């Protein structure tokens, strides 16, 4: 091989090595680009988004704690008190009767009033004595606030006998026969039994035997003022 030919081949080898080196450099750059994560276009980087989320959760948590420490409004306090009261007392069983004048008589019709329910029978001396006490209650309170209802649980007390009883004792509130199992619904064992029902329909007082007017005042007053 001549000297000129070896020189030519040497120059080609040199060019080949340069091209190979350049190709390796390009390949290294491509690999480096693949390893480097691309920046998101627009929005927040992941780190900043995480910090913002945690900050918002912190604000929500602080507000929740703050709101529980604030005093309730008057309306909220009243609703909470009513709810607690309702959990303590039994719902008064409803009934649908016809009074001795032929008019419908249902407990639900008096929602919004305090109801004094008098369970009685004519042949009951204590029931007759109770009439005097109920008259005092009726005289003390407006009919817009307090309603008195007398229901006879005796099958012998006919409509005519009850009308005569009303006349003899000058009763001015409504009287009815028990035609809807009121005695059973209220588990009556003795007469008279007095049941006081609040304006939301819950039993707030119950007593067998003669109940004096002063005792009923003590029961009714808080219900009207509350």
Q: pLDDT for 83-100, tens place per residue? A: 455 568 999 999 999 999
* Residues 60 and 108 both lie in one domain: no
Q: Which of 51, 69, 87 is the last residue of a domain?
A: 69
Q: What secondary structure, in 3-state letters, does 61-121 show?
A: HHHHHHHHHCCCCHHHHHHHHHHHHHHHCCECCCCEEEECCCCEEEHHHHCCCEEEEEEEC
pLDDT tier at 75, thresholds 50, 70, 90: very low
* Residues 63 and 106 both lie in one domain: no
pTM above 0.85, yes or no: no
Q: Could you tell me the residue range of the domain that residue 44 belongs to?
A: 3-69
Domain for residue 21, yes or no? yes
CATH number at residue 154: 3.40.30.10
d(C-alpha 90, C-alpha 93), whole Å: 9
Domain for residue 83, yes or no? no
pLDDT reading at 132 higher than 60: yes
* Residues 213 and 103 both lie in one domain: yes
Give me the number of domains the chain comprises.
2
d(C-alpha 118, C-alpha 193), whole Å: 6
């Amino acid at each position: 091989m001549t000297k000129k030919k070896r020189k030519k081949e040497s120059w080609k080898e040199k060019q080949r090595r340069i091209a190979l080196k350049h190709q390796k450099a390009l390949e290294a750059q491509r690999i480096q680009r693949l390893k480097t994560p691309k920046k998101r276009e627009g929005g927040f980087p992941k780190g900043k988004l995480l910090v913002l989320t945690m900050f918002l959760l912190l604000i929500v948590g602080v507000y929740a704690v703050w709101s529980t420490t604030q005093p309730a409004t008057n309306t909220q306090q009243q609703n909470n008190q009513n709810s607690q009261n309702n959990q303590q007392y039994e719902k008064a069983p409803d009934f649908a009767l016809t009074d001795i004048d032929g008019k419908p008589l249902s407990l639900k019709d008096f929602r919004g009033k305090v109801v004094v329910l008098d369970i009685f029978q004519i042949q009951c001396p204590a029931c007759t004595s109770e009439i005097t006490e109920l008259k005092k209650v009726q005289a003390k309170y407006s009919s817009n606030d307090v309603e008195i209802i007398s229901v006879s649980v005796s099958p012998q007390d006919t409509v005519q006998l009850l009308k005569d009883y009303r006349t003899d004792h000058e009763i001015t509130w409504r009287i009815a026969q028990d035609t809807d199992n009121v005695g059973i619904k209220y588990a009556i064992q003795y007469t008279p039994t007095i049941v006081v029902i609040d304006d939301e329909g819950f039993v707030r007082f119950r007593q067998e035997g003669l109940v004096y007017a002063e005792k009923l005042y003590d029961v009714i007053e808080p219900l009207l003022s509350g």
